Amino acid sequence: MLPETLQENELAGGLAHGELTLQIEPDDILAVLEFFKRHQKFERLSTVTAVDRYPMEPRFEVVYHLQSVARNLRIRLKASVSAEIASATAVYAAANWYEREVFDLFGVVFSGHPNPKRIMMPDDWEGHPLRRDFPTHGFKYSYGEQK
Amino acid sequence: MSETITEPVLHQEPEAGGSRRMTLNMGPQHPSTHGVLRVVLELDGEFIEKATPEIGYLHTGIEKQCEALNWQQVITLTDRVDYLANLSNNLCYSLAVEKLLGLEIPPKAQFLRVLLAELTRINSHLVWLGTHALDMGAMTMFFLTFREREDLLRIFEMFSGQRLMTSYIRPGGLALDPPRGWEKPVKAFLADFPNKLDEYESLLNANPIWLRRTKGIGILPVEEMLEVGITGPLIRAAGIPMDARKMTPYSGYEKFDFNVPTATENDVFARYAVRMAEMRESLKIVQQALEGMPEGPTRAEAHRVVLPEREKMKTQMEALIYHFKIVTEGIAVPEGEIYQVVESPRGELGYYVVSDGSSKPLRVHMRTPSFANLQGLPNLVEKRQISDSIAIMGSLDFVLGDCDR
């Protein structure tokens, strides 16, 4: 059974190129992940990532790819957020590093994450490189300034 | 032994009545981390209490750069993600873009892609075997596997002109037609390699040091492996026949007859056995691809997407115009998103590609197996001896370029 909160919200999404996508309300994400893991045998979280739709609002789409090995199915969940979403680590341990990566490169905050630190960039880095408004070239940084 | 290279960085005061705890920095320049991985180990004597992998030393912003390049230029970056399995990466990205474009790939190109992807798997497993055995003191293996790897690199060079960064599989087919007589070195490799595999096994399977250091080491419950996202030979050595080539066949894999090797012991030795068996299965697939190789073109018929043949470009005006437009403007890929999965030598390789309809990708996310497998490292090494961590890290077979991107 789908969680009640989810049934109230209208589920958007559909099938494209043979892949099922569900658009989820950000507040429901934990309930939905829990539902797919416990009741639908989606035992794996393949990846968590984000897409920056700048200048749209809310600008970030957090994207989850789940896989059921037993049923040989894959599903994609998407939640549009402007800055913050609950951490999926409580449901899938694999989300840990992926959420750190999304935080590091996009600046999306995952509330309740056990170790909310940067993973790719240095700890004292300023900015989030994968945002669309972060330049590809010419970011103010030079090796000479380091101590 | 390589463990003696790292120096302790911090000595903690011994607790009253307790044993002495020590924090040890393994890497980022440690030979057995195969790249620039740093693992902070908290030790209690010889036992690892806590392991914290620190990654990002090889972060090159490939995903960011993908957004600045044309769809067809991104291929060169996919080579540089996992530099031991570049053709698997080429293939995964090409399949994703082709799905968005709705392209039909000619059978000959599909067969050649499968053939090259399997040779890539053998190539990657050879590097893994050589370095893994080298870590464990069996130095000879390294020279033997790199001898055979040389044959494979020559084959890649013959196809694409490059040994490592091939960029040979492209959206729409292959970069070039294979050169005349390309079957000869591939057939020679097929005839030769089974004996070489036997030679490797004769050196390792009865080697007491190898057996003592691999059997019963690095066991993790299957549920925990699925939970942290471990895929590939590791999960197959734990008894789950998870293989994208069978579960969601791509590029015509459903036409080939092969097995997915599994083991149940779930230790370092089982991972070695699975990878050795995979190389034999790959040989079977290459053999079938050679025998059943269809005739025909190696590029799809799509003027607006695929570069025209050189000859046509010089004789037909339309071909010249299309060539000019593809090179200068790039190809317009319809709006949409794809999560394409292939079975790379290291496990599930997924490309999540998003298009907004323009000539550049909106987002290319690479779900790389090394990143996910490394996340499971603390679960695998904690509460175990430090010398076992070398064997376990070797059995994970990560590539740091693949991990950090």
- Crossing angle of helices B107-135/B386-396, nearest 10°? 170
Averaged pLDDT for residues B333-356 = 91
Candidate from B59, B338, B348 with C-beta closest to A46: B348
Whether residue B143 has pLDDT greater than 80: yes
Whether residue B121 has pLDDT greater than 90: yes
Map residue B188 onto helix, strand or coil: helix
Least confident among B16-25, B88-97, B370-379: B16-25
Q: Please, are residues A41 and A21 in contact by the beta-carbon 8 Å criterion?
A: no
Quick check: B100 and A17 CB within 8 A? yes
ipTM of the complex: 0.85
**Mean pLDDT of chain B, nearest integer:** 87
Per DSSP, B243 falls in state -
Determine the residue type at B55: I
Cis peptide before B107 (omega within 30 of 0): no
List chain A residues with pLDDT less than 70: 1-13, 138-147
Whether residue B380 has pLDDT greater than 60: yes
Summarised one tens digit per residue, pLDDT across range B1-23 is 444 444 444 555 555 555 678 88
A85 - beta bridge partners?
Answer: A110
pTM, entire model = 0.88
Report the Cα–Cα distance between both ends of chain A, in Å, rounded: 58
Between CA B1 and CA B137 the distance in angstroms is: 8
Determine the residue type at B228: V
Between CA B314 and CA B323 the distance in angstroms is: 11
For B199, residues 6+ apart whose C-beta sits below 8 A from its C-beta are B144
Averaged pLDDT for residues B353-370 = 90
Chain B residues within 8 A of A43 when measuring between CB atoms: 226-227
Between CA B153 and CA B124 the distance in angstroms is: 11
Choose the mutation target among B363, B364, B367, B398 for the interface with A, i.e. most A CBs under 10 Å: B363
pLDDT score of A12: 60
Tokens describing residue B336:
């949409």
Between CA B188 and CA B185 the distance in angstroms is: 5
Between CA B208 and CA B127 the distance in angstroms is: 22
A131 part of contact set with chain B, CB < 8 Å: no
Quick check: A16 and B99 CB within 8 A? no
For B153, residues 6+ apart whose C-beta sits below 8 A from its C-beta are B123, B163, B164
| Nearest in space to B189 (alpha carbons), one of B87, B282, B69 | B282
Candidate from A46, A72, A94 with C-beta closest to B228: A94
Quick check: B229 and A45 CB within 8 A? yes
pLDDT score of B26: 83
All domains of chain B in start order, with CATH = 2-54 (no CATH), 62-404 (1.10.645.10)
Provide CATH code, domain A4-124: 3.30.460.80
| Nearest in space to B382 (alpha carbons), one of B258, B224, B269 | B224
pLDDT score of A144: 56
Quick check: A136 and B59 CB within 8 A? no
DSSP per-residue string spanning A25-59? -GGGHHHHHHHHHHHS---EEEEEEEEE-TTSSS-
Q: Please, are residues B209 and B138 in contact by the beta-carbon 8 Å criterion?
A: yes
Summarised one tens digit per residue, pLDDT across range B236-289 is 998 888 888 888 898 889 889 999 998 888 889 999 999 999 999 999 999 999
Least confident among A134-143, B46-55, B96-105: A134-143
B241 part of contact set with chain A, CB < 8 Å: no
Least confident among A6-15, B163-172, B177-186: A6-15
pLDDT score of B1: 40
Q: How far is CA A55 from CA A26, A58, B68, in A?
A: 19, 9, 17
B339 part of contact set with chain A, CB < 8 Å: yes
pLDDT score of B350: 92
pLDDT score of B3: 44
Interface of A with B in 42-71 (CB under 8 A): 43-47, 49, 51-52, 63, 65, 69
Q: Please, are residues B364 and B75 in contact by the beta-carbon 8 Å criterion?
A: no
Return phi, psi of residue B339, to 5°: -115, 100
pLDDT score of B209: 87
Q: Please, are residues A117 and A123 in contact by the beta-carbon 8 Å criterion?
A: yes
**Which carries the bigger pLDDT value, residue A8 or residue B221?**
B221
Quick check: A44 and B229 CB within 8 A? yes
SS3 of chain B: helix, strand, coil, percent, to 5: 50, 15, 35
Quick check: A16 and B337 CB within 8 A? yes
Map residue B210 onto helix, strand or coil: helix
Tokens describing residue A90:
């409580």
pLDDT score of B216: 85
Of chain B, the percentage scoring pLDDT greater than 90 comes to: 30
Confidence of residue B341 (pLDDT cuts 50, 70, 90): very high
Q: Please, are residues B345 and B88 in contact by the beta-carbon 8 Å criterion?
A: yes
Listed by start position, the domains of chain A span: 4-124
Between CA B317 and CA B321 the distance in angstroms is: 6
Chain A residues within 8 A of B404 when measuring between CB atoms: 120
Whether residue B300 has pLDDT greater than 90: no
Per DSSP, B134 falls in state H
pLDDT score of A8: 52
pLDDT score of B393: 87
| Nearest in space to B127 (alpha carbons), one of B394, B380, B326, B328 | B394
